[in-house]
Amino acid sequence: MAGKKTVIELRDVRKTYQIGEVSLEVLKGVNIKIDQGDFAVIIGPSGSGKSTLMNQVGILDVPTSGAIFLEGKDISKMEESQLAQLRGRKIGFIFQQFNLIPTLTALENVTLPTIFQNVSEEKRVQKAKDLLAKVGLADRMHHKPTELSGGQQQRVAIARALVNDPDIILADEPTGNLDSTSGQQVMDLLATLHGQGGKTIILITHDIELVRYAKKIIYLKDGEVVKVKHNGVEK
Amino acid sequence: MIKDYFIIPWREIKRRRLRSWLTLIGVFIGIAAIVSLITLGQGLENAIEGQFQALGKDKLFISPKGGTFAGIGSSVVMTEDDLEVIKRTAGVKRATGLAYASSGYEFNEVVRFNFVSGISTEPDERALAGEAQTWKIAQGRNLEKGDRFKVILGYEYTQDTLFEKAVELGDTILINGREFKVIGFLEKIGSPPDDQSGLIPLDTFGEVFNREDEVGYIIVQTQPGDDPAVVAAEVNEELRKSRNLDEGEEDFTIQTPEQFAEAFGVVLDVIQIVLIGIAAISLFVGGIGIMNTMYTSVLQRTKEIGIMKALGAKNSQILYLFLIESGLYGLGGGLIGVILGIGFALLVELAFVVFLGPAFLSVEIDLLLVAGTLFFSFLIGCLSGLAPARSASKQKPVDSLRYE
């Protein structure tokens, strides 16, 4: 893997939650490296700490101990404001529940991340329109989420995730709330973004079916990485 | 860029229609009250100013101390001698004395009680009194030298509201039990006491009310170019001496129209301040209402806040979003309040004009007041929403996203 840039690295990351008197250690020293252009799937059963891990990888939360490097920068000590800006620029989120803002149209939802990055109005509207066209929703751009099907909402979410040209797409159970056809559409879209777009994709799921899209498969159990597979070669 | 932060708050306000209206009501009631009170207060001052402007700055009014008005109820008596002293004072151009009494008017077998004024029949004195009191002849003629039991009646007498029958020129009316012939009517003045008065010759007044030579009220016109305040001081000196009084022991008062207006203005200001203070309390409560609405809004949008943070929103950007939302509530309430407040003031003015006459209220739309109110209400909105907005901005993205 020489010459490839590491975009995200987790070094001995631990995360402990305090629930009253009880301490719950959810992540028990996780080491992960994701390189540029990877399509990584993090897979594990319920309670394996997937969501917590996603929060760490997506720099939505900081570890209790250990370090996280985003493009070489140690983010584990950063302030929320800095994290937010970095998040907005570098990472595009796709959620299981789509998480679109219900009072905004598809177009407005897609432009939202650019507002937080202070991009000019002209630029952002054009970009958003292009992306919506790319995901096949050009004719729905003025519709609100309530007027869109699940599959369509998730595609809007994908366009939104791409609008700031992030290096990393982080998808948390993206097909969890979709029927198999829409789910297929979404996965194909992600595959295209990876193949043609050169994006780094990190997908978190419990669905073993999705493993076939990945180049790197990270198996998580009880807060620890138990196995890492590369293109069929076990490590 | 700031305008981009308006879409989300605006949509949110539209989404929660009922809650938004309730919040706005809490604000605009207070604003409407304040705006209408200030506007009406200003309108009253304008009207009074206008009245005194018409009067002219060169007039002085001298009346006995004590009593209610023009010496009624006072034990102090002024006479024609006092009038002569005043006429001879330097700086006095014209002076005239009037007498006032409350009397029964009987006509068509109905008795009414109203004011009677005894006025001089000397043409230029009569003119001075007319000027000061805005008496203008509408029908018939004025009182002439030699007239005795003749009366000029106010506008109301030409209607049938007082005696169930209109009084006409040439009719006989009983005043204080004595017969008077009606020789003229005055133009409508706009205030009921004035429109229901009667004017009779001063000499006849003395006879009918047993107050020979008495005057209740002296109106002075100062020489053009002289400072009325200086002339007032002169008159004060002369009158004091002629009445054998020590300095500071004057049993009469000399007033200028300005003083009247000022005194009135002070009373008006005090009343206004108290009423506005009460309205301000209601506005404060309206602000609390905004705060309550905002806390609810923040709570209901916990997940949304988490999403926005995931999309890269900084704490400060979340703060702006919610601050603008609460500011819009304030501004919306302010706008509605201004419209209602001014509308109400205009309605009151209409009522005044219809029922009392145009003299009492002159409402003016003050653009500075409008602008100030809108700015102030936006500010109140922002301030009320500050605590909830801060709470929103400080939410942890992870917790927020998990919220259902």
What is the residue-wise DSSP string for B213-261? Answer: TEESEEEEEEPTTS-HHHHHHHHHHHHHHHTT--TT--SEEEE-HHHHH
The pair of structure tokens assigned to B108 is: 């068509």
Query: Would A7 be classed as within a structural domain?
Result: no
pLDDT confidence of residue B1: 61
pLDDT confidence of residue A1: 45
The pair of structure tokens assigned to B15 is: 């989404």
pLDDT confidence of residue B381: 94
Q: Say yes or no to pLDDT of B278 above 50.
A: yes
* Mean of all residue pLDDT scores within chain A: 89
Reported as a single tens digit per residue, the pLDDT across A76-98 is 778 888 889 899 999 999 999 99
pLDDT confidence of residue B279: 83
The pair of structure tokens assigned to B65 is: 């101390």
Reported as a single tens digit per residue, the pLDDT across B175-207 is 998 999 999 999 888 778 888 999 999 989 888
In terms of residue numbers, what domain contains A118?
37-62+78-234
* C-alpha to C-alpha distance for B381 and B19, rounded to whole angstroms: 15
Reported as a single tens digit per residue, the pLDDT across A22-41 is 988 999 999 999 998 889 99
The pair of structure tokens assigned to B78 is: 């002024």
Domain count, chain A: 1
Pairing of strands B78-79, B214-215: antiparallel
* C-alpha to C-alpha distance for B336 and B340, rounded to whole angstroms: 6
Specify the range with the lowest mean pLDDT, choosing from A142-146, A175-179, B43-47, B108-112.
B43-47
Residue that the structure tokens 């949008």 belong to: B301
Q: Mean of the pLDDT values across residues A209-232?
A: 86
Q: Say yes or no to pLDDT of B356 above 80.
A: no
Reported as a single tens digit per residue, the pLDDT across A130-167 is 999 999 999 999 999 999 999 999 999 999 999 999 98
Query: Would A146 be classed as within a structural domain?
Result: yes
pLDDT confidence of residue A168: 92
Q: How close, in Å, is residue B307 to chain A by CA atoms?
A: 7
Chain B contacts of A104, Cβ < 8 Å? 7-8, 11
Express as a percent the part of chain B with pLDDT over 70. Answer: 97
Q: Say yes or no to pLDDT of A124 above 70.
A: yes
Chain A contacts of B313, Cβ < 8 Å? 84, 88, 116
pLDDT confidence of residue A232: 57
Query: Would A17 be classed as within a structural domain?
Result: no
Query: Would A134 be classed as within a structural domain?
Result: yes
* Mean of all residue pLDDT scores within chain B: 87
Q: Which residues make beta-bridge pairs with B107? A: B110
Q: Please answer yes or no on whether B12 and A80 come within 8 Å at the CB atom.
A: no
Chain B contacts of A160, Cβ < 8 Å? 311
DSSP-assigned letter for residue A234: E
pLDDT confidence of residue B250: 82
pLDDT confidence of residue A2: 47
pLDDT confidence of residue B389: 94
pLDDT confidence of residue A230: 83
Q: Mean of the pLDDT values across residues B74-102?
A: 87
Residue to test with chain A: of B1, B4, B307, B311, most A Cβ within 10 A: B311
Query: Would A173 be classed as within a structural domain?
Result: yes
pLDDT confidence of residue B256: 81
Q: Say yes or no to pLDDT of B342 above 80.
A: yes
Chain B contacts of A89, Cβ < 8 Å? 312
Q: Say yes or no to pLDDT of B70 above 70.
A: no
Q: Please indicate if any CB of chain A lies within 8 Å of the CB of B2.
A: no
A window 81-140, beta carbon within 8 A of B: 81, 84-85, 87-89, 93, 95, 99, 101, 103-104, 108, 112-113, 115-118, 121
Say whether A169 sits in a helix, a strand or coil.
Answer: strand
Q: Which of B1, B304, B315 sits opposite A118 (nearest CB)?
A: B1
pLDDT confidence of residue A166: 92
Query: Would A186 be classed as within a structural domain?
Result: yes
Amino acid at A113: P
What interface predicted TM-score (ipTM) does this complex get? 0.91
The pair of structure tokens assigned to B261 is: 């207006």
Chain A contacts of B8, Cβ < 8 Å? 101, 103-104
Query: Would A28 be classed as within a structural domain?
Result: no
Query: Would A70 be classed as within a structural domain?
Result: no
Q: What CATH number does the domain containing A46 carry?
A: 3.40.50.300
A window 23-82, beta carbon within 8 A of B: 55, 58, 60-61, 80-81
pLDDT confidence of residue A234: 53
Q: How close, in Å, is residue B362 to chain A by CA atoms?
A: 47
Residues 6+ apart with CB under 8 A from B368: none
Q: Mean of the pLDDT values across residues B206-215?
A: 86
